[in-house]
């Protein structure tokens, strides 16, 4: 690491500190020639995750956009405040664990639906109706019927 003041290459680390729960390390360095102190940051390079849309458009995976979509579906539902955030984290972790650098957007959508299905059925239907753009009421009814059937006797709360 070259000294920003004199350009000397011989510098040493005088202090190291973990930031962002250890995702970043901040180092204070000192130039051995002119004693100038400067700071460097070291971060883990997260592998790029590319989402390929149906029309072939490629976009970097956007965890925040996913969280926003989930949050919207969960609006005013009786769930934990961080339900959308945790679901988005879990989905990102699952996508990254799969190890592929490119994933179809339908995979992200399917994981989001799966997560919402577990968290809250109303949120799931909200999300699914937008995401799957139900062709007509019959499709929507079929989806709701499936949920009822899974819930078993008594069905969803009336
Ligand atoms: Zn220097």
Ligand 1 center to residue 17 CA distance, Å? Answer: 22
* Residue 158: per-residue pLDDT: 44
* Residue 44: per-residue pLDDT: 72
Ligand 1 center to residue 20 CA distance, Å? Answer: 29
Residues near ion ligand 1 (CB < 5 Å) are: 3, 5-6, 8, 31, 33-34, 36
* Residue 155: per-residue pLDDT: 44
Residues in the chain where the model's pLDDT stays below 50: 154-155, 158
pLDDT digits (tens, 9 = 90+) for 107-149: 999 999 999 999 999 999 999 888 777 677 777 788 888 888 8
Ligand 1 center to residue 2 CA distance, Å? Answer: 8
Residue 70: exposure state from Cβ atoms within 10 A (0-12, 13-18, ≥19): buried
pTM over 0.75: no
41 within 8 A of 88, measured Cβ to Cβ: no
Ligand 1 center to residue 123 CA distance, Å? Answer: 58
Dihedral, 100, 117, 89, 68 alpha carbons, nearest 10? 110
* Residue 36: per-residue pLDDT: 95
Ligand 1 center to residue 55 CA distance, Å? Answer: 53
């Amino acid at each position: 690491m070259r000294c920003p003041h004199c350009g000397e290459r011989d510098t040493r680390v005088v202090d190291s500190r973990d930031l962002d729960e250890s995702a970043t390390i901040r180092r204070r360095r000192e130039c051995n020639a002119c004693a100038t102190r400067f700071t460097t940051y070291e971060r883990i390079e997260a592998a790029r995750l590319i989402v390929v849309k149906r029309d072939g458009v490629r976009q970097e995976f956007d965890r925040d956009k996913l969280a926003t979509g989930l949050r919207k579906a969960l609006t005013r539902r009786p769930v934990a405040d961080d339900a959308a955030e945790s679901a988005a984290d879990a989905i990102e972790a699952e996508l990254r664990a799969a190890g592929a650098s490119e994933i179809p957007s339908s995979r992200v959508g399917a994981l989001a639906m799966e997560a919402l299905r577990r968290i809250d059925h109303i949120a799931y239907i909200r999300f699914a109706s937008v995401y799957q753009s139900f062709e007509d009421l019959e499709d929507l009814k079929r989806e709701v019927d499936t949920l009822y059937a899974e819930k078993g006797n008594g069905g969803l709360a009336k």
